[in-house]
Amino acid sequence: MRSGIALTCSLFIATAALALLPGCASLRPETEDFDVTLVNLASEGGGAGVGEAALRFTIRLQNATPDPVTLTGSAHKIYLNDVYVGQALDGGRVEVPRLGTVTQDVTVHLSTFKLARAFYGVYRTQRASYRVSSTLYGTRSTMRTRKEGSIDLQGLQLPPPPSQP
């Protein structure tokens, strides 16, 4: 009797493990073969009110594989000066050629309070550090990437800083 229960439990565990394998195989960890870089940002001029603004981020999708990659959607968490400003979501289809790059504009609706906090201390230099953590949904797999760097904020057309007395 005990061996029958043990055999049933073993079969259940093996079946559950096999059922989970396809999900694990389709989700790749962070990849070095595909890269997402922030190349520009500009004000969209929109938002839901005083507390919200829309920023358009231009990202570069870089495919370092010998095969083209077709994306069916993406999510990009964007940080400026280590402050999370928001997430850009895109449900469009994008083809990134083999060993090639494509740029894409994505919009983030963010709190102006977070924006002010993120830009504090860089107003005079008009440069900011950034981090982009992306999840890319492809026709064959899902990839995750993370990139850090710095960006020139001239595209925001901020007013000049006040002159010193």
Q: Write down the domain spans for the chain.
A: 29-156
- CA proximity to 89, closest of 77, 71, 101: 77
Tell the CATH topology of 29-156: Immunoglobulin-like (2.60.40)
What is the per-residue pLDDT for 32?
76
What is the per-residue pLDDT for 6?
42
What is the per-residue pLDDT for 122?
61
What is the per-residue pLDDT for 54?
85
* Burial track 114-135 (b if 16+ CB lie within 10 A, e otherwise): bbeebbeebeeebebebbbbbb
What is the per-residue pLDDT for 15?
34
pTM: 0.70
- Rg (alpha carbons) of the chain, rounded to whole number: 22
Reported in sequence order, the residue ranges of 14-162 that DSSP labels E, i.e. its strands, are: 27-30, 34-43, 52-63, 69-80, 83-90, 94-96, 100-111, 127-138, 142-152
Ranges of residues in the chain with a pLDDT under 70 are 1-31, 45-50, 114-115, 117-125, 153-165
What is the per-residue pLDDT for 147?
94
Given the DSSP bridges, would you call strands 100-111 and 127-138 parallel, antiparallel or unpaired? unpaired
pLDDT tens digit string along 16-63? 333 333 333 334 445 678 999 999 888 776 555 567 888 899 999 999
